[in-house]
């Protein structure tokens, strides 16, 4: 039993399984002999260093994903992104933060990119992101200054402008970086 629990726990950490309280455990993505697994770990001196390491990787992935989304988006992708952005804005305005809703918006961008590896790599990093969304550095407004730029990012992708999508993604992540540096002083 403990071996099975440990295996389920590991598969949850990898994003393969999802446990829902009162409902059961579900397969989130198929696994085959051809499945690529990238175990990731961060050895950081402190919270700020861990955030900065993660942010560097996010910068590379998210800029490329937003450019690809601007080139490949479909009407369905635009509708999903719009709905996710509206929800992110609603949560941000009512709660002052929007971590999970922010992630949902960015996942729609990855989906619109047409490259499933963007989302899969993010899934591997997801645990590192989520640690910081519940009042990171005891600041519920973490990365709040980047919030307005998400609408501009959406518009660039919707309008099929990869250069603008890259620029707005960098602007968002630059603000997040400034916030990390300010909060770690």
**CATH code of the domain covering residue 108:** 1.20.120.530
Same domain for 46 and 33: no
Please state the rounded mean pLDDT for residues 121-140: 63
pLDDT at 29: 72
Answer yes or no: do 90 and 59 share one domain: yes
- Which residue, among 98, 181, 100, has the nearest Cα to 144 in the 3D structure? 98
Same domain (yes/no): 18, 97: no
Q: State whether 20 and 77 are in the same domain.
A: no
Backbone dihedral angles phi then psi of residue 24, each to the nearest 5 degrees? 130, -170
pLDDT over 90, % of the chain: 36
Q: Domain range holding 30?
A: 1-37
What is the per-residue pLDDT for 150? Answer: 94
65 and 111 part of one domain? yes
Most confidently modeled of 15-24, 108-117, 175-184? Answer: 108-117
Instruction: Tell me, yes or no, whether 87 and 151 share the same domain.
Output: yes
Q: How deeply is 89 buried, as exposed, middle or buried, from its count of CB atoms within 10 A (0-12, 13-18, 19+)?
A: middle
pLDDT digits (tens, 9 = 90+) for 74-127: 999 999 999 999 999 998 888 877 778 888 899 999 999 999 888 878 777 766
Please check whether residues 33 and 69 belong to one and the same domain. Answer: no
DSSP-derived secondary structure letter, 19: E
**Do residues 148 and 84 share a domain?**
yes
Q: From CA 62, how far away is CA 170, in angstroms rounded?
A: 9
Identify the sign of the CA torsion 113, 117, 121, 122: positive
pLDDT tens per residue across span 108-117: 999 999 998 8
Q: What is the pLDDT of residue 1?
A: 73
69 and 158 part of one domain: yes
Give the position of tokens 């591997």. Answer: 124
Quote the pLDDT of residue 46.
77
Same domain, 52 and 125: yes
Do residue 64 and residue 5 come from a single domain?
no
State whether 64 and 78 are in the same domain: yes
Per-residue pLDDT, 128: 63
Number of domains observed in the structure of the chain:
2
């Amino acid at each position: 039993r403990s071996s099975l629990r440990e295996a389920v726990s590991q598969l949850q950490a990898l994003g393969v399984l999802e446990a829902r309280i009162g409902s059961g455990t579900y397969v989130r993505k198929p696994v085959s002999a051809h499945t690529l697994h990238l175990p990731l770990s961060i050895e950081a001196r402190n919270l700020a260093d861990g955030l900065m390491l993660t942010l560097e990787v996010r910068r590379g992935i998210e800029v490329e994903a937003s450019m690809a989304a601007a080139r490949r988006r479909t009407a369905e992708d635009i509708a999903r992104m719009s709905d996710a952005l509206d929800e992110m804005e609603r949560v941000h305005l009512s709660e002052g933060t929007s971590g999970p809703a922010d992630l949902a918006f960015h996942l729609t961008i990855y989906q619109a990119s047409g490259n499933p590896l963007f989302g899969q790599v993010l899934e591997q990093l997801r645990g590192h992101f989520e640690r910081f969304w519940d009042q990171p550095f005891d600041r519920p407004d973490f990365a709040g200054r980047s919030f307005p730029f998400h609408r501009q990012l959406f518009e660039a992708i919707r309008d099929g402008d990869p250069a603008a999508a890259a620029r707005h993604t960098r602007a968002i992540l630059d603000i997040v970086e400034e916030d990390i540096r300010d909060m770690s002083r």
